[in-house]
């Protein structure tokens, strides 16, 4: 099964969004018949003559995840492919296992940061990279063909503890020569995929740690916790006292946000800064370049420049960051949201646990606090507003929106930025504004939001 990116314009996809297939569990496109057809179509994409037709499947802690895994495995079996379960594991864990353990493909059953009622299906090719747009489009056509005649059957796959152990041991190996025992850390696992892995990995690294939200019940994933609410662990760091660091993971463990010892939230931009400087200092930052996104703060670009590091901007979405990294040869990239991608090892996607391990490693080896490591990151005031829309009409086709953008751009000059885009997973327009002052930032964001609401609002 091929993966990676395509240089051609992507075909219109009906099931796959920017991060796999996602929806309400039990409803189309995550009803049993469609899920079975997905498994059948994926199984048929695996070369019939290949040496190994095994597919690894991992899941998060949602109530619906086990039946979706079983139904996918049933579809795969109907196509002559064998599913092996890695149990509850992170999205990057499945990518790692697919790449290193000889699997033909990897599947993750998760809806990441979405509420428990939702779920999703993400697919990795044998090389551990997400599938290209063209490959997803081809699979969709096969899914629709199978839907016409498929009857869903569940076949729960055998679970392998060795797969879990392989990923956990790989994470720990990154700090095998680093003493982390002086660090005291508070970790929020969001009642998600890191609920078991997080404590295991952090303890094996020798860190003195306490944990929050590690008791998933099928319904409490992301509920008022984790990377969606990093202020929660930040507050606890201060109230409990004595912690060097707070860490917040999201539901599927592919991103992490942090808190310094004083309870200040530290986002992905700051992590990119400290990681880039660390890699450059060790001569490992290829081309002295980092890939961020259009949403990354102007302050990051300025801080990197002082260290002789260039920054490229990709479209929002870790798959687009990864595409630009592979195109430019960069080994480090990421998003404000905490998706940080390290391509200097076996990693092929954002990995919250790996990011946490490497942040702790930089702190321990430098002897510096997190706040000190990023203290020169002067953040421009930034806001993001979400506007529900009834349709995703191209903004350039709406004169009132174009006029609002033109007026705002003229007012900001070179002292700010505006990024206007649609969400890839929700019916929302997102407005990001950076400006010299909070007052100007909010005024401009509200003006654009009002134009969108009047013309496209739901």
* CB count in 10 Å sphere of residue 217: 11
Q: Domains plus CATH for the chain?
A: 21-160 (3.40.120.10), 174-373 (3.40.120.10), 382-456 (3.30.310.50)
CA distance 150 to 71: 12
CA distance 88 to 80: 24
Residue with the two structure tokens 């025992």: 181
Which has the closest alpha carbon to 324: 337, 303, 341?
A: 341
List the structure tokens of 240.
């409990």
- C-alpha 311: how far from its chain's center? 20
Q: Is 56 helix (H, G, I), strand (E, B) or coil?
A: strand
Q: Is 388 helix (H, G, I), strand (E, B) or coil?
A: strand
Contacts of 452 (CB under 8 A, 6+ apart): 387, 389, 401, 429, 431
- Catalytic (active-site) positions: 112
Give pLDDT, residue 436. 83
CA distance 12 to 49: 30
Could you tell me if 345 and 95 are in contact, meaning their C-beta atoms sit under 8 angstroms apart?
Answer: no
pTM score above 0.85 = yes
CA distance 49 to 186: 49
List the structure tokens of 202.
């952090």
For the chain, residues with pLDDT lower than 70 are 1-13, 48-51, 150
CA distance 46 to 88: 24
CA distance 52 to 74: 18
| Maximal C-alpha separation, the chain | 63
Give pLDDT, residue 14. 80
Give pLDDT, residue 47. 74
β-pairing verdict for 105-109 and 118-125:
antiparallel
Helices 399-412 and 438-456 cross at an angle (nearest 10°) of 170
Percent helix, percent strand, percent coil in the chain, to nearest 5: 40, 20, 40
Q: Is 80 helix (H, G, I), strand (E, B) or coil?
A: coil
The per-residue pLDDT for range 253-298, each reduced to its tens digit, is: 999 999 999 999 999 999 999 999 999 999 999 999 999 998 899 8
Element (H or E) spanning 214, and its range?
A: none
Q: Is 122 exposed, middle or buried (0-12, 13-18, 19+ CB in 10 A)?
A: buried
Q: Taking the CA of residue 421 as centre, how many other CA atoms within 13 Å lie in the half-sphere pointing to its CB?
A: 14
Could you tell me if 47 and 13 are in contact, meaning their C-beta atoms sit under 8 angstroms apart?
Answer: no
Give pLDDT, residue 281. 96
Give pLDDT, residue 153. 87
Question: Cα torsion at 25, 29, 34, 38 (round to 10°)?
Answer: -100
């Amino acid at each position: 099964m091929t993966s990676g990116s395509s240089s051609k314009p992507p075909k219109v996809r009906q099931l796959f969004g920017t991060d796999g297939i996602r929806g309400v569990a039990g409803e189309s496109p995550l009803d049993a018949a469609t899920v079975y057809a997905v498994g059948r179509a994926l199984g048929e994409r695996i070369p019939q003559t290949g040496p190994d037709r095994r597919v690894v499947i991992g899941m998060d802690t949602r109530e619906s995840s086990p039946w979706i895994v079983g139904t996918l495995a049933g579809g795969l079996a109907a196509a002559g492919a064998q599913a092996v379960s890695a149990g509850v594991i992170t999205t990057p864990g499945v990518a790692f296992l697919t790449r290193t353990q000889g699997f033909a493909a990897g599947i993750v059953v998760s809806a990441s940061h979405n509420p428990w009622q939702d779920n999703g299906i993400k697919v990795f090719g044998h090389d551990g990279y997400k599938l290209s747009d063209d490959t997803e489009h081809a699979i969709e056509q096969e899914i629709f063909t199978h839907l016409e005649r498929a009857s869903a059957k569940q076949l729960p796959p055998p679970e392998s503890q060795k797969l879990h152990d392989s990923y956990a041991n790989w994470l720990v190996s990154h700090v095998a020569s680093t003493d982390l025992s002086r660090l005291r850390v508070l970790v929020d696992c969001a009642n998600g995929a890191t609920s078991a892995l997080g404590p295991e990995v952090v303890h094996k690294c020798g860190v003195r740690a306490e944990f929050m939200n590690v008791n998933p019940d099928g319904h409490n994933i992301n509920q008022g916790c984790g990377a969606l609410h990093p202020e929660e662990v930040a507050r606890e760091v201060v109230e409990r006292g004595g912690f060097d660091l707070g860490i917040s993971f999201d539901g599927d463990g592919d991103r992490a946000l942090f808190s310094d010892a004083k309870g200040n939230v530290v986002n992905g931009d700051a992590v990119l800064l400290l990681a880039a400087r660390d890699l450059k200092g060790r001569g490992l930052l290829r081309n002295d370049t980092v890939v961020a996104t259009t949403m990354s703060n102007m302050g990051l670009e300025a801080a990197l420049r002082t260290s002789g590091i260039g920054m490229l901007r990709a479209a929002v979405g870790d798959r687009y960051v990864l595409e630009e990294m592979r195109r430019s040869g960069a080994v480090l990239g990421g998003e404000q949201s905490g998706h940080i991608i390290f391509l200097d090892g076996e990693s092929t996607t954002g990995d919250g646990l790996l990011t946490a391990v490497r942040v702790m490693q930089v702190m321990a080896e430098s002897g510096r606090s997190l706040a000190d490591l990023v203290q020169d990151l002067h953040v421009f005031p930034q806001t993001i507003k979400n506007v529900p829309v009834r349709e995703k009409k191209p903004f350039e086709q709406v004169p009132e929106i174009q006029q609002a953008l033109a007026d705002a751009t003229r007012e900001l000059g070179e002292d700010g930025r505006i990024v206007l885009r649609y969400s890839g997973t929700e019916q929302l327009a997102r407005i990001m504004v950076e400006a010299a002052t909070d007052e100007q930032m909010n005024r401009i964001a509200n003006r654009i939001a009002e134009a969108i609401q009047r013309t496209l609002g739901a």
